[in-house]
Amino acid sequence: MNYRAVCFLAAALLMAAAPVSSAEDAGTPFMTNVYGRDYQFLNGKWNAIVDLYDQGEKMKVYENRTPQTGEEFYEYSFEGGLRLNVPGDWNSQTPELKYYEGTVWYARHFDADPQPGQRQFLYFGAVSYRCKVYLNGEQITEHEGGFTPFEVELTGKLRSGDNFLVVQVNNRRTQDAIPALAYDWWNYGGITRDVMLVTTPEQYVRDYFVRLDGNDAGSVKVSLELARPQAADVTVDIPELKVSKTVRTDEDGRAEFGVKVKGLELWEPGKAKLYDVTVSCGDDSVSDRIGFRYLETEGTGILVNGKRTFMRSISFHEEIPQRKGRAFSQADAQMLLSEAEALGVNMIRLAHYPQNEYIVRLAEQMGIILWQEIPIWQGIDFEDKGTESKALGMLEEMIFRDRNRCAVCFWGVANETKPSDARNAFLLSLLEKGRSMDDTRLYVAAFDLVYFNEETRHFEMDDPFTENLDVVAVNKYMGWYHPWPVPPSEAVWDVVPDKPLIISEFGGEALYGQHGDRNMASSWSEEYQARLYEDNIEMFRHIPNLAGVSPWILFDFRSPYRFHPTNQEDWNRKGLVSDQGYRKAAWYIMRDYYKEIKNSDK
């Protein structure tokens, strides 16, 4: 059964078990803005069983039995063994699990006090990569995809007092997964983001999408959906704009309407204006901080609020290099984003998957534009319809979680794919899905098949799929994977000349503190990396439709792909900042380039 079908079946079973309503709930994958709800964290130490040979399901470890008679015994126990932090990857928590790819069972007790007229939901920010969830011995849901949230309703299933929760997590790489078998980052497994027990009233605002109506800064557009399909009054308040509007939803619990506003201050890079917004219905009320901006392309330019804006970007993985583990907290977000800000960026390409909400929300508060993408990273089987429906599910979950975050200006649908009919159809279905959910963003994909045409003496690319995108992006490692065919000052580009082009990756590796020949790639020296940056910056001046650049990458990051024994040791060393947090020589070159661009922008 494919991914969507599994979710649907799980949802249908749950609805059948839900005690109160006869009508079906809204079909959204989870509630919008979980951090704005009434919740308690189920984070902390969980008990864990490592199940290398996948025996736990057969043994029904989720029943958590203990011997009751003289004849009984069980070859497992959640008590007295491994304890793992949640949120967190397991790889960084014990040396034995550093390379572990397989199943780990997580378990914990928690107290609940379910009240009549209330509903409870269990919400996972992300579990990497696939999981099954059991409550009090019964499976209640499953999910695939390591970087997006999911939720399951617990109403009618919770006991007053003690409850026992088990999550079977598996991070084995497979050809039909996304990402697939080999990729250039660490395959962290575990319950990697917050776990929350959320309480709502019987009827509540399940989803809302608040944004500008097109390019009109005098008009806010709201779409919303209630959990239960019923006509009801819903109120949207934006006190600072003197908006308080009540509308009646249709019989399906949906409403869409515009509100005229005066004096709205737009959010833009470097000026992070956000408004308090509250959406309420009956006993339910959910509050958010929302910014307003509009995006367009005009010829080869990207316009934010009508102003041509060059993207001074950087990328990072959701990883704290010094801790050698996944980033998951507000403090982690602060560390990653403050280092990005120091470089002088106005944008971050979140590599290569949706990152946690702490990062997205803090970037928004700091006035930094985001490009967020799903992990369609090389090696994907585009012929496989099951993989396609997983990709659609991931895209939907990413957009659904973050479409109220104005900082997100780009949805990325793929990284480094090769043209084929199957690839085109797959990516087209992603674009169609995305645009149907959210037409307020620019859609982008990164390609790597730019080549030097000996006849025209230009850099060119032939990929007809670029026609479908608002912005085209290219990863090009001149001076690293590709020797220079001409000096950088003569490297003229002729790639999608009528569209905005972002160089979404460039760079090379250097070991921090290693000094050597600035002309020798194999010196792995800061000098070589710095020179490579100088050369690429020179080349950028000859890309007429250049709308932004994004070096690869801010920090050295862990990758089993990278096994040079002295220079890499499981680290991709393309960071501008080392795994210890030290800035390499190339960092200063990039910082100065961004200063120059920023000044010339004014």
Binding site for ligand GCB (CB under 6 A): 184, 352, 415-416, 448, 475, 505, 552, 572, 574
- Strand, coil or helix: 98: coil
Determine contact, residues 254/234, Cβ cutoff 8 Å.
no
Of the candidates 391, 238, 278, the one whose C-alpha atom is nearest the C-alpha of residue 33 is 278
- Closest distance of CB 129 from ligand GCB, Å: 17
Residue that is written with structure tokens 């806010």 in the block: 220
**Spatial contact of 388 and 426, defined as CB atoms under 8 Å apart:** yes
Kindly tell me which of 206 and 584 has the beta carbon lying closer to ligand GCB.
584
Contact 21, 9 (CB under 8 A): no
Residue closer to ligand GCB (CB basis): 163 or 572:
572
Residues 468 and 428: their CA atoms lie apart, in Å, by 8
Our CB check for ligand GCB shows the closer of 561 and 588 to be 561
Instruction: Give me the residues paired with residue 49 across strands.
Output: 105
Angle at 387 between CA 381 and CA 391, to 5 degrees: 115
The helix (H) or strand (E) run that includes residue 295 is strand 295-298
Shortest Cβ 184–ligand GCB spacing (Å): 4
CB nearer to ligand GCB: give 213 or 505: 505
Q: How far apart are CA 105 and CA 51, in angstroms?
A: 7
Minimum distance from residue 477 beta carbon to ligand GCB (Å): 7
Cβ 380 to ligand GCB shortest distance, Å: 13
d(CA 191, CA 48): 11
Beta bridge partner(s), residue 257: 222
Minimal CB distance to ligand GCB: which residue?
184
Amino acid code (one letter) for 194: D
Q: Is the dihedral of CA 266, 270, 276, 279 positive or negative?
A: positive
Task: Please say which residue, 8 or 481, places its beta carbon nearer to ligand GCB.
Answer: 481
Return the beta strands (E) in 403-450 as ranges: 408-415, 442-447
Q: Are the CB atoms for 159 and 291 separated by under 8 Å?
A: no
Give me the least distance between CB of 311 and ligand GCB, in Å please.
17
Q: Output 268 or 505, the one with its CB closest to ligand GCB.
A: 505
Measured from the CB atom, the residue of 14 and 446 that comes closer to ligand GCB is 446
Minimum CB distance to ligand GCB smaller for 366 or for 503:
503
- Of the pair 440, 572, the CB lying nearest ligand GCB is at 572
Name the residue type at position 118: Q
Contact assessment for residue 108 and residue 42, using Cβ atoms and an 8 Å cutoff: yes
Q: How far is the CB of 474 from ligand GCB (least distance, A)?
A: 10
The per-residue b/e assignment along 323-332, b for 16 or more CB within 10 angstroms, e otherwise, is ebbbbbbeeb
**Measured distance CA(266)–CA(467) in Å, rounded:** 30
SS3 for 444? strand
Least CB distance from residue 236 to ligand GCB, whole Å? 40
Closest to ligand GCB by CB, 275 or 555: 555
Looking at the Cβ atoms of 177 and 274, the one nearer to ligand GCB is 177
Residue 481 beta carbon to ligand GCB: minimum distance, rounded to whole angstroms = 7
Residue nearer to ligand GCB on the CB measure, 367 or 375: 375
Q: How many CA atoms lie within 13 A of 452 on its CB side?
A: 15
Q: Pairing relation of β-strands 408-415 and 442-447?
A: parallel
Tell the smallest beta-carbon distance from residue 192 to ligand GCB (Å): 19
For residue 100, which phi and psi values (nearest 5 degrees)?
A: -65, 130
* Residue 185 Cβ vs ligand GCB, minimum distance, rounded to whole Å: 7
3-state secondary structure (DSSP) of residue 472: strand
The secondary structure element, H or E, covering residue 213 is: strand 205-213
Rounded to a whole number of angstroms, the minimum distance from the CB of residue 475 to ligand GCB is 4
Q: Which is nearer to ligand GCB, 123 or 552 (CB)?
A: 552
Residue among 200 and 572 whose Cβ is closer to ligand GCB: 572
> At closest approach, how far in Å is the CB of 507 from ligand GCB?
7
Q: What minimum distance in Å lies between the beta carbon of 448 and ligand GCB?
A: 6
Residue 489 near residue 444, CB atoms below 8 Å: no
> How many angstroms separate the CA atoms of 536 and 344, rounded?
18
Between 286 and 474, CB nearer to ligand GCB: 474
Distance CA 485, CA 69 (A): 78
Q: Minimum Å distance from CB 501 to ligand GCB?
A: 16
Distance, in Å, from the CA atom of 115 to the CA atom of 210, rounded to the nearest integer, reads 31
Minimum CB separation of residue 332 from ligand GCB in Å reads 20
The rounded distance, in Å, linking the Cα atoms of 596 and 590 is 10
Q: Structure tokens of 276?
A: 């308090």
Task: Spell out the residues 6+ positions from residue 574 whose beta carbon is closer than 8 angstroms to its own.
Answer: 507, 508, 509, 510, 552, 553, 556
